[in-house]
Amino acid sequence: MRVTVIGAGYVGLVTAACFAEVGNTVTCVERDAGRLQALDKAQVPFYEPGLSDLVARNIEVGRMHFVPSIAQGLGTAQVCFIAVGTPPLPSGQADMSQVRGAAAEIGQHVSGPLVVVQKSTAPVGTVEMVQGIIDAEMARRGVQHWVSVVSNPEFLKEGSAIEDFTRGDRIVLGSNDDKAIAVMRELYRPFNRNHEKIMVMKPASSELTKYAANTMLATRISFMNELARLAEAVGADIEQVRLGMGEDHRIGSHFLYAGAGYGGSCFPKDVKALAFMAREAGMHAELAEAVDAVNQRQKQRLFEKIATHFAAGGLKDRTFAVWGLAFKPNTDDMRDAPSIDLIEALLGAGARVQAFDPVAMDSARKLWGERPGLTLCKDAASALQGADALAVVTEWHTFRSPDFDQLAAQLKAKAVFDGRNLWDPQAVRSAGLAYYGIGRG
């Protein structure tokens, strides 16, 4: 099929590459000149395992193309995905300006039958809004084409996006148009072979499903972080509690890990957006607001533990090694990452920070530039040189089994702060290090 994807960001590029890989001809619209130039050379501007190879392969065989405008990209497309950004406004509401702009341009340039797929995470009512904008633009031109808008939320996890797209557990389609659904079934047929994954529902239900899923996962994380504080207060170990909970099949073991808080491009903004939608509907989403509040508080937890440990001498002029900057492993995404809160708090207290992440160093340089007191190191060992203590913020596999005796010899204050509960407290302490985890009693 002939597919156009508006927006070559994270969701758009993964979507385009995966559809191209199964034989479709895909045109990506990307307005950013620098990003467009890089993509023409098969250079993916962010880290996602396997995506660079996928893009390069499909450019080489002529199934992926990149253009700077919707007018150039729409052509004779049968399906057009809107995959532009919907960042949060200060109110928590999703900024829909890019979606509205894309819809208007589609209406201005569509020249035949088209299914428009709303892929960007957007609030309930977006399908109706996009359909109205397109219809109005066609009426202004005096043309009539069958154009049907479908909601198709993404459920991609950074670090495993290709696997999630090609082998995902569900494909949600929101539409009341049988003809449009038939087109979407054909497009998704290569990914729907082993068992039926397609779920057809009303557009409003589809739009809400995305927010509901992310808020549910965020709720589990915040609940465990709340329990971790209680565990510390009563002398329990949250890791043992987690195992005891996870064996209950009604609960399961996923997303039951206490830590330094969640971040990234989805959970923070989607929880806030759900709470905003509730307010717009005349409700008070108390649970969603509490989930967000707990997470904001949890992002300060590592710094609080560090400040308490060094209360006698203070933090000024001390040096801290920080391992892990991305909000999660297998990505270079630092949006709303807990590492930012920790580093800013340490720098604000007069400390120095030596930080390392396996793939997010370029993201860190873009974020901080030449920040006084902050050194971005070439490897984990360099971050330890001259450090008083170590804090682990991202659970990269490379950080899971350090030599604790060597750490004890290097760290001047002989203290580690485990923001992801990677290590066995007893193993760390037996090496002569003070250990602080999250909810470890």
Q: Which residues are catalytic?
A: 266
Q: Cβ–Cβ contacts within 10 Å for residue 191, how many?
A: 17
| Beta carbons within 8 Å of 224's beta carbon, 6+ residues apart | 238, 242, 255, 256, 257, 258, 439
Please answer whether residues 397 and 159 qualify as being in contact, where contact means their C-beta atoms are separated by less than 8 angstroms: no
Round to whole Å and give the CA distance between 196 and 182: 14
Angle at 117 between CA 56 and CA 214, to 5 degrees: 85
Task: Let me know: does 113 contact 147? Beta carbons within 8 Å.
Answer: yes
Sign of CA dihedral 114, 174, 275, 300: negative
The phi, psi pair for 174, rounded to 5°, reads -110, 110
